[in-house]
Amino acid sequence: MIELCATKIEGSISEGMIKRSGEYLPPSFFRRALEKEGTFAGRQRFMGLLLLWRMINRRQDSEGVKGETLEIAEHEGGKPYISGMPHIEFSISHKGDLVVCALNRCGAGEVASPIGVDVEVIPDDERRISAIARRFFSSDENAFIERSEDRCEAFARIWTRKESLLKLRGEGIGRISSVNALQPAGLTFFEYRTFIEGDRYLISLCCCEDLICFDELEFISFSE
């Protein structure tokens, strides 16, 4: 069962929150969380790693997970993973004030299937999305958008599906035109929608066909 959680960025990250996080997070997570401190991208990364560790740590049967020894590494394509923990796969995405994390965990000694998640704000400019779609989407993806009642949401569905699929594969955004969101052989998508301060967000989770995910997006708060 894949877990999918989200958190909302509530303003800046205080010194108190950083101090408490240093006591809570594994050392490698904490170092990575502070790499872009003081920037909005840094806040997104910080909250993403807090969310990931909360999800890993909240189960009492966290087989073989010892925070002090965890190390986050990256595959050749840049996809992060937890070194020495093949039974845990995760994917983090953020857009604006929303941060989401997907976690696939199986028993110690097993190998978790890869997953990918992406979140975007549903746009409201049809002319702009048409130009982007013509450049990066296939003919059938463009046709899907054109016949949809809500073209802006349809665009967001295709875009987040493509990005989540690329994240599953460990490939960069530069290959977005090479994947087809409507014909993912052996893969499936789960979609979630939420509202934050008037913005519509759409989340796509990509995983193997034999996996299932919780029906609802769970929100976790880290407010002081």
The tens digit of pLDDT for each residue in 37-62 reads: 788 899 999 999 999 999 998 864 55
Residue 117 CB partners (closer than 8 Å, separation 6+)? 4, 91, 92, 93, 100, 101, 102, 164, 167, 203, 204, 205, 206
Are residues 7 and 222 in contact, defined by beta-carbon separation less than 8 angstroms?
A: yes
Domains of the chain: 2-219 (3.90.470.20)
Are residues 184 and 177 in contact, defined by beta-carbon separation less than 8 angstroms?
A: no
Q: Report pLDDT for 128.
A: 92
Residue 39 CB partners (closer than 8 Å, separation 6+)? none
Q: Report pLDDT for 76.
A: 79
Q: Considering only CA atoms, which of 163, 148, 147, 151 is closest in space to residue 127?
A: 151
Residue 211 CB partners (closer than 8 Å, separation 6+)? 1, 2, 104, 113, 115, 188
Q: How far is CA 29 from CA 97, 105, 110, 197, in A?
A: 21, 18, 23, 29
Give the whole-angstrom CA distance, residue 167 versus residue 78: 9
Q: Considering only CA atoms, which of 153, 223, 163 is closest in space to residue 194?
A: 153
Q: Report pLDDT for 77.
A: 79
Residue 38 CB partners (closer than 8 Å, separation 6+)? none
Q: Report pLDDT for 184.
A: 82
Dihedral of alpha carbons 173, 89, 32, 195, sign: positive
Q: Report pLDDT for 63.
A: 53
What does the pLDDT profile of the chain (224 residues) look like in tens digits? 899 999 999 877 888 888 889 888 888 889 888 888 788 899 999 999 999 999 998 864 555 555 667 888 888 778 999 998 899 999 999 999 999 999 999 887 899 999 999 999 999 999 999 999 999 999 999 999 999 999 999 999 999 999 999 999 999 999 999 999 998 889 999 999 999 888 999 999 999 988 888 888 999 998 75
Question: Could you report the per-residue pLDDT of 82-113, keeping only the tens digit for each?
Answer: 998 899 999 999 999 999 999 999 887 899 99
Residue type, 159: W
Q: What pTM does this model have?
A: 0.92
